[in-house]
Amino acid sequence: MCGRFAQVIKRNQLAKLERELKLGHKIPELIENYNVAPTHTVGAFVDSAQGRYLGFFRWGLIPSWMREPPQSSIINARRESLADKPSFRGALSRRRCVIPALGFYEFEKGSKQPWFIHYADDSPMLMAGIYDAWSGADGSFVPSLAIITMDANPQMKSLHHRMPVLLDLEAANTWLDGKIDDAARLQLLIQNSGLMPLSIYKVDYYVNKVQNTGPKCVEPLIG
């Protein structure tokens, strides 16, 4: 699963993503958060009739057909159930997004020792996601998203059996393409993801508190 991640993308990296993902709108400033937790607001790339852009969403999917927000946040959507569950099926064909991140965290079972997982060169991870927009009877409007997860790759298996679906640039462009709605093609795309080598190291228990959102969260644990 993915229960915490760091959304810290440098200005020059954002500018590069603008070009590589063919965004039709300039990316607004992205607030740094080294410890994104469920219900936090996150930036994600989406496609629309007016072009691709960086939108902002609550992390924890609220399907538009629900009368009330679920008591437990739907922060992850299993790749294997995307085409089956009503909460995910429509989003797979029409409401896909890409969430940029510096990396994500996993916690050892029992000890809750946190580990940080990222690319060795600190290039942005592009996590596959789905989104929706919920409207309440009181007039509230909540855009929200979930991160898609898959079976862990060999590097991750000793730490956790699940991991986010990580897209390379070509796959991210395909995932965002609103003209593609073939579920089998999309499933194959994400099934073949997550092959890029990862860098994994322990970090301090400081990250276990959601109130801590600064760079100390990703500092390697010494000793």
**CATH code for the domain of 67:** 3.90.1680.10
Mean pLDDT of each 10-residue bin along the chain, 223 residues long? 91 92 82 96 93 94 85 89 80 92 95 95 95 85 94 90 94 94 86 83 97 97 80
Q: What's the pLDDT score for residue 143?
A: 95
Q: What's the pLDDT score for residue 181?
A: 86
Write the CB contacts of 58 (distance below 8 Å, at least 6 apart in sequence). 39, 40, 41, 142, 143, 144, 145
Q: What's the pLDDT score for residue 46?
A: 96
Residue 20 lies inside a defined structural domain of this protein: yes
Q: How many domains does the chain have?
A: 1
Residue 56 lies inside a defined structural domain of this protein: yes
Backbone angles phi, psi at 183, to 5 degrees: -60, -40
Q: What's the pLDDT score for residue 222?
A: 83
Q: Which residue range forms the structural domain that includes residue 46?
A: 5-104+124-198
Q: What's the pLDDT score for residue 1?
A: 64
Query: Is 0.85 topped by the overall pTM?
Result: yes
Choose among 36, 29, 25, 12: nearest CA to 145. Answer: 36
Residue 66 lies inside a defined structural domain of this protein: yes
Alpha carbon distances (Å) from 69 to 17, 27, 42, 143:
32, 29, 18, 12
Tokens encoding 178: 């609103």
Q: What's the pLDDT score for residue 9?
A: 94
Residue 100 lies inside a defined structural domain of this protein: yes
Backbone angles phi, psi at 141, to 5 degrees: -135, 120
Q: What's the pLDDT score for residue 113?
A: 96
Q: What's the pLDDT score for residue 223?
A: 64
Residue 181 lies inside a defined structural domain of this protein: yes
Distance between the two ends of the chain, CA-based, in angstroms?
A: 27
41-46 vs 141-151, strand pairing mode = unpaired
Residue 222 lies inside a defined structural domain of this protein: no
Alpha carbon distances (Å) from 81 to 36, 96, 150, 190:
25, 15, 10, 13
SS3 176: helix
How far apart are the C-alpha atoms of 133 and 131, rounded to whole Å?
7
Q: What is the DSSP track for 108-160?
A: -TTT--EEEEE-TT-PPEEEEEEEEEEE-TTS-EEEEEEEEEEEPPTTTTTT-
Residue 41 lies inside a defined structural domain of this protein: yes
Residue 214 lies inside a defined structural domain of this protein: no
